[in-house]
Structure 1
Amino acid sequence: MAHAIRFKETGGPEVLRWEEVVVGDPGPGQVRIRHHAVGLNFADTYFRTGLYPAPLPAGLGVEAAGVIEAVGEGVTGFSEGDRVTYTGSPLGAYSTERVMPVGSLIKLPDGIAFETAAAMTMRGLTSSYLLRRIHPLEEGDTILLTAAAGGVGLIVCQWAKLLGLNVIGTVSTEEKAELARAHGCDHVIHYRSENVAERVRELTDGAGVPVVFDSVGKTTYASSLASLRRRGLLVCFGTASGPVPPIDAMQLAVQGSLFVTRPALADYIADPAERAELAGELFDHVGSGRIDIKVNQRYALEDAAQAHRDLEAGRTTGSSVFVL
């Protein structure tokens, strides 16, 4: 019998339930996948708490890797036995197997393990569009990256070095600082004991940085704005501490004609050709060893509630996966 994590009401980790489910056969345009590994992402907590609305009852999770067991009518480009990974709607990745639309699937090269794929598909594609689509960064540019020791942070640090960028990263502990440095972060700021904007100005001879990649949100957006150089760009791509408060447009002018964007991965992988291009570059870096994916936490899927507690308490580093 197949199993899945589901929730009937929004709330804390305790609302998550391990249940038997009936999967069935794929319909037109669908496949049935048996998962080998499932990704754990901070965005999963947003659905659980209701920050991201979802019809209830609901499954959870948007990222996993496994093998196609059955193919529905009209599916082209994928066959039974194909190794695949995916990130994106619909919810339901927290499951041993599932039926889902073929549109989100990406073929997984043989040289990349299922756990690696589940740990990096969302984070890696996010890193890809941040560095390759958001802003025309040039070799020698300096960027500020919040949560530099997180799953996205460690990938961005490594990829940024491949592009010749200088990385200033923020962290909460010395353990995380060492991890960030080991992955290419040039300068580390302990945000709990240092003034981030002041340190950024010191490190950039008073100029500030052209781009800040901020995945924390509510508690960091003000210091992120203050770290930008004139006409700089704040990229708010996550809200780990809560949603970014309303931004006064006049303050953007006063602080140096600044720009702010709140991108979503879905809009950068909606086009199949662009998704394939971003994924191809990611898989090439990972497959060659130029980017190392750290799976630092592994959980059984039925322990999803504890995994969420660890994630929200900041007890994780790098990527976390559920192993089936």
Structure 2
Amino acid sequence: MSVLVTGGAGYIGSHVVRAFVQAGFECVVVDDLSSGHREFVPAGVGFVDATVLDVDRVTRTLVEHDVQAVVHLAGFKYAGVSVQRPLHTYEQNVQGTVALLTAMNAAGVDRIVFSSSAAVYGTPDVDLVTEQTPTAPESPYGETKLVGEWLLRDAERAYGLRHTSLRYFNVVGSAVDDLYDTSPHNLFPLVMEALVQGRTPRINGGDYATADGTCERDYIHVADLAEAHVVATRTLIEGGTLEPVYNLGSGDGVSVRQIMTAVARATGIDFEPEIGDRRPGDPARIVASGELAARDLGWSMRHSLDDMVRSAWQARQAHQTP
């Protein structure tokens, strides 16, 4: 018996696969390598080069590998780009989830952990987001993640699918040097790439209503996130009960300027970031409570901000050249 991880060749997905392997699970990965990397999948883990939109291929994979549960991370994740590419985003994230659920139903697999997002909340008018905070996504990406949660809910009603969705915020760091964030849109790789190239990192907006004028966000280490997926999946396999959604948050925001200061400490590069204009739609603060996940999934922030930055820089230095 095994666990299928869709998107398991990506930055987050590959960390999730490693966590499952370390916990003694057999895994198989389905990934079309549109943003993932084949070398991120460890030796001994089955790999299928396919899109989740391919119902027949995914169904065969589920049957051939005797899959017990699915962790669904595959999708198009760039909120800003999704505004320019809404049809592509819906195809990958909504049609992809429909296709995956269709394959699971055909193969008799009835357990899934879904990778959701803080983007379902939009710009919440609260200091601390909880699972009861109203959802109001402001991008096609956020909308598709919310629709994905609805699909799981409706599948539960229709044929007893057992599921939970993990809503997470800003995932950073590296657990091992050979896995790193290669996104062209995420803050950590953008800042570190700028430093490697001799450019000054940029902050978008310095006049927000926060302690230092820059946006405050929830940053969590990818290894902590990966462990939460393992616990949630094991709970479903063992017949335990989970809530339909969990926030994986720190409960304590970190500002963009604090990130910059931590990067300077980790890299030894002394710099003063440039302050640019605000980006449209960037809320001043989005921070979530992780209390519910702590209760049911043993969720905790095991890594400090310096740990997050140091591990990301170490992986960047080890595997990328200027």
Tell me the TM-score normalized by structure 1: 0.35
Relative to its length, the structure with more helix (as a share) is 2
Tell me the TM-score normalized by structure 2: 0.35
